[in-house]
Amino acid sequence: MGVLTGGDEVFCAGADLKDLEALAAEASGDAGPLGFTRLAVSKPTIAAIAGYCVAGGLEIACWCDLRIADVTAVFGCFERRFGVPLIDGGTQRLPRIVGLGRALDLILTGRPVHAGEALMMGLATKVVSQGDALRQAVKLAHTLAGFPPECLRNDRRAVYEGLGLPLEEGLKLEARLGADTLSSGEPAIGAREFAAGKGRGGRSR
């Protein structure tokens, strides 16, 4: 499990536009200009966001699986006004999170999106009180870490690897990864716990 966070007033405002030469040099790299945005990880990641989450910062947040924002959070493709492209995955991940129409709205206009609207469009997973984003993100990470790990990772993998596949191929992928999980022994342990009365009615195991 991983939690990414920034400061109390700015999550991340992206690259240093005073050094465009370095940005251009890093644009073609395998990892992405911000260092990791073209890399994939096998475990869930959560962004804890306060204040400005713009330009490359928004792309970092979109790299994460979930985004916990406090009420001060502001999202946006602010690089639009300076003629700097989205090159840390934003053009690919943002539409997958909020849909094509909303993504184009943000990408083409560069307008600010405050926490409430971000929640409404699905960009923010949850909005919390000021100063509470990191605590809530860590709490969520602990919850996820308490679930059987192979099942969690394989279901997450099925979602990401299935994006863009025809439904028939996606179902085959899900079946293959599901079979791997079923043969791992985790579901048998969970079934015994359920039979013993644990976790029923949505309660923790």
Whole-Å CA distances, 64 to 23, 24, 178, 190: 22, 24, 23, 28
Dig out the tokens for 61 from the structure: 């947040």
- Is the CB of residue 56 less than 8 Å from the CB of residue 75? no
Distance of CA 102 to the CA centre of its chain: 17
Q: Which residues, in sequence order, are CB contacts of 123 under 8 Å at separation 6+?
A: 67, 75, 94, 97, 98, 113
Q: 10 by DSSP, 3-state: which?
A: strand
Enzyme catalytic residues: 15, 56, 59, 79
- Is the CB of residue 73 less than 8 Å from the CB of residue 53? yes
